[in-house]
Chains A and B, each alone.
Chain A
Amino acid sequence: MPRFRLPTPSRPAALQSKAKRPAGANGPSGPVETAAEGGIHVVDWLDERTSLSGGLRWMMFRKVPKGTNWFYTLGSATMFAFLSQAVTGIFLAMYYDPSPTRAYESVRYIVNDAFLGEFVRGMHRWGSSVMVILICLHMARTFFFGAYKYPRELNWVIGVALLILTFAMSFTGYLLPFDQRSYWATIVGVNINGTGPLVGPYLSDFLRAGPEFGATTLSRFYAIHMMLVPGLIAALMGAHLYLVAKLGTTAPPWMRAEREKSLIEDEV
């Protein structure tokens, strides 16, 4: 049986959407357009004074070679884990008190009483493991794909510095809860530093803020953990990213560019 279909009746004139008209000489013709114009004005104002748009375009619209796969997201995932550590760390710092008498109680307050405290502390605690795993995977990818070779040698060196700083973060952060586990592990860690040749004793004296584990040791670890090392990591990460954008993401080592026929003929 043939099926008939009636044409849908046209909507009444009042409900028909009107065709957009470009803003004429009389200026924007609606609230949306006004807002859009306003936005453009703000961006123009900023760009006139900073010339940021060129840099942004250079960063965002650079080409990424053919064949890049999920292995190439490990670096940015490490950076994201670092950002997560920074954000959760800020919230923990709002409650934490780096004095030997109050540190443990302040952490206990975070875990037991503060709103979402245990959750945020858990994110910070396990985020450090995630960051270490990601940075190691990122390094393994760089190593096995030979991505540290010319012209990216300097970026490899910066990356190794970032790896060491990440371990330094973990070492200094371990003491801060000031429970038995963290206290004794840190004592051992500092003593291990002390057995090193030449700078060893000076390094452990610097970490302990004196020959013995004392009242200022904790605040020293805290300052290193939340200012010195994160500052260095952020700065080096910026340099690392700049070099990635400048030199380009590597292509997987097995990728070969297809030569165009005309070019091959030229070579002959």
Chain B
Amino acid sequence: MNQLEKEEYLREYALLKAKGKPFFPYAIAKDSAMAVITLIVIILMSLILGAELGPKADPTTTTYVPRPEWYFFFLFEVLRIIKPPEFVPMATIGVPTLCMILLFLLPFYDRSAERRPERRPIATAAGILTIFAMAYLTFLGANAGSPNEIDMAPPADLKGAALTEWNQGRLVVAQSGCLACHQIGENGNHGPGPRLTHIARNLPAAAIAQTLRNPTAPMPSFQRLSDTEPEKFNAMVQFLGSLK
């Protein structure tokens, strides 16, 4: 915007303003009506949706799937999409920081004098794209399963109690955070631990149990789980032993 455009805008605006109505009571009336609507919406949401309180926080559980408030879903989804560990800092801080800087500096790089949305095709298209991208990411984030869920079908020959145990083992493995360092099929991270997709080809079940109890650092030991809840531990071993 050069000096001429600035002065032209100020002159035009002064004329429009002179033709306008005073803030009080005209704009105040609309604002008050909107405030009443806002309050009614909040009250109705409170009455209809309530304020239920979940179970008390328990730092020792490993079974809880963290979910953020819905307006953080898009951020949550960006994290899920960007998987390789070397890109994670970029996803967590890089992308949001970049977006924030772009937002802050908007008036300094969009310096054209035009204000009508239909005559600013790039800005309008970028704005609409951003809205759609965020809506899409929010939708994906809302429908996404747990980040530490193992998505795979059981072996075909498993039936009855063995199948139940296999499913329980799958759940325990997922909830124990194994996927942070290991990959099982399409699930989990590439490293630093070895891939477990075909672990049972190299290790028999007894050796898997031994490794779980007495692992190489930095993997945590599952000795306590095997002492306190042996059925969970056995399910874990059975599940891992089925990965051929």
Contacts and interface: CB of A to CB of B under 8 A. Distances in A.
Interface in A46-72: 59-68, 70, 72
A123 interface: yes
A223 interface: no
Interface stretch (A8-16, A33-41, A142-150): A142-150
Interface string A100-131: 00001001100100000011111111111110
Nearest to A191: B92
A248 B58 CA distance: 52
Contacts, number: 235
Contact of A196 (B55, B93, B108): B93
A80 B42 CA distance: 11
A84 B38 contact: yes
A170 B71 contact: yes
Size bracket of the A interface: 35 or more
B244 interface: no
B133 interface: no
Given A81-B38, A146-B116, A180-B56, A64 B68 contact: no
Given A84-B38, A153-B107, A146 B56 contact: no
B71 A132 contact: yes
Interface string B7-20: 00110110111111
A163 B47 CA distance: 27
A118 B50 contact: yes
A256 B12 contact: yes
B9 A67 contact: no
Interface string B69-94: 11110000001000000001100111
Contacts of B43: 123
Contacts of B35: 76-77, 80
Interface string B52-73: 1111111101001111111110
Given A77-B34, A150-B6, A251-B16, A130 B53 contact: no
Contact of A73 (B9, B12, B13, B30): B30
Nearest to A188: B66
Contacts of A24: none
A121 B51 contact: yes
Contacts of B79: 192
Contacts of B94: 197
Contacts of B116: 146, 253-254
Given A76-B35, A126-B49, A153-B108, A195 B89 contact: yes
B98 interface: no
A73 B57 contact: no
B131 interface: yes
Interface of B: 1, 6, 9-10, 12-13, 15-24, 26-28, 30-31, 33-35, 37-39, 41-43, 45-47, 49-59, 61, 64-72, 79, 88-89, 92-94, 97, 100, 103-104, 106-108, 110-117, 120, 123-124, 127, 131
21 contacts: A62-B23, A64-B17, A64-B20, A64-B26, A73-B34, A84-B38, A84-B39, A104-B57, A118-B51, A122-B50, A124-B51, A129-B45, A130-B45, A134-B38, A146-B115, A151-B10, A184-B64, A188-B68, A193-B93, A253-B115, A255-B16
